[in-house]
Structure 1
Amino acid sequence: MSELSTVRLLADYNQWMNGRLFEVTATLPEAVRQEDRGAFFGSIENTLNHLLVADTLWLKRFAVHPACIDSLAPITMLPTPPTLDAQVRDTFAELHLHRLWLDQQIVDWCGDLGDGDLDYVLSYRNSKGVASRRRFGSLLTHFFNHQTHHRGQVTTLLSQAGVDVGVTDLLVRIADELQ
């Protein structure tokens, strides 16, 4: 599997897994979603919010890549979250709708990328203003890995709330070559 195929697989998995987490989280009472459970961002809802914040920050950085300017134009119109825990939407329902929209943007954007685009060296500044230059394909790996990291936290928080998310493995999104 090529690196680009892997990126597209991760975009698909990201959309699928976020959808699952939001669906099961939506069944919980607001107090349970917002209960501080001692996680880095406190609650289930705040952790899901952080993922939207981080994704927005990274996608805005990615939007300066010459191959991404058109694909990520809708992202550049979003306000830049001032902190990693800034609330991006007022209600859980709005957060969910924003997640659905953003994940479709990610899938479409990854579908527009070409193999050569991954070798581009992207210059950007992190949230503290520190300048960096890194290979774009490696940054995409970080982007998707960061989401997986925090979704793992959410599945643990959901488990603590008595919710079984079910299978979360990337494997279920990989085509079985025997079929």
Structure 2
Amino acid sequence: MNSVAYFQRLASYNAWANRHVYEACAALPASELDAPRRAFFPSIMRTLNHILVGDRLWLSRLVGDPVAMPLDTILFDDFDELREARITQDQAILDFTDGLTADIIASDLTYQSVLAGAYTMPRDLILGHMFNHQTHHRGQVSNMVLEAGGKVLEIDLIYYAREQL
């Protein structure tokens, strides 16, 4: 598999995993979404907002129209609005990866960090980080869903692959 196809696969997996996470969250009582939890962003809603913030930051840098916002920005207080924004963001990521080329992936990107200075890094590393960042925080959401009495989330990449094959 070439690098373009690899990142397109990760974008597809990302959208699939997010659908599963949001379905599990939608099954919880609304009060559980905002209940305090032990996590980097201490509730399900705060963590879901952070994932969306991260995606908006990274994708804006990758497309050359950077936005800036604190990492703990609450974009949406309403779960249904957040879910719709997540679907829209996942489609934007899918569309972006559909336009990738090997040359783009092999190039560097200079960007301004939210917390530090300017960096120049390989685009393939940044793309990998964007998808890994989501996986990291989805794992935290998965644990919080369990704590709230929700179902076990089988959202590992291998589960996605088994459904696709």
TM (normalized to structure 1)? 0.85
Question: Does the CA-based 8 Å contact 1:9-1:173 persist in structure 2?
Answer: no
Relative distance call for 1:176 and 1:27 in structure 2 (3 A) is: closer
Match of 1:29 in 2: 29
Letter aligned with residue 112 of structure 1: G
What is the aligned partner in structure 2 of residue 117 from structure 1?
104
Could you report, residue by residue, the CA deviation over 1:91-136 in whole angstroms, capped at 9, with x for unpaired residues?
A: 1110000000000110111011111110111011100241110110
Structure 1 distance, partners of 2:157, 2:120, is 29
Displacement of 1:24 in angstroms is: 1.2
Cα 1:20–1:127 shift into 2, 3 Å: same
CA–CA distance in 2 between the matches of 1:152 and 1:166? 9
| SS of equivalent residue, structure 1 residue 174 | helix
**Aligned with residue 164 of structure 1, among 151, 154, 158:** 151
Distance 1:132 1:161 in 2: 39
Aligned residues: 165
Question: Offset of 1:89 from its aligned partner?
Answer: 1.8
Residue type at the aligned position of 1:89: F
The change in CA–CA distance for 1:176 and 1:21 in structure 2 (over 3 A counts) is: closer
**Separation of aligned partners in 2, 1:166 and 1:122:** 34
Structure 2 portions without partners, runs of 5+: none
2:108 aligned with 1:107 = no
- After superposition, the CA RMSD in angstroms is 1.9
Task: Flag as ranges the 4+ runs of structure 1 deviating above 6 A.
Answer: none
- Select the structure that is richer in helix: 2
Percent of pairs with identical residues: 37
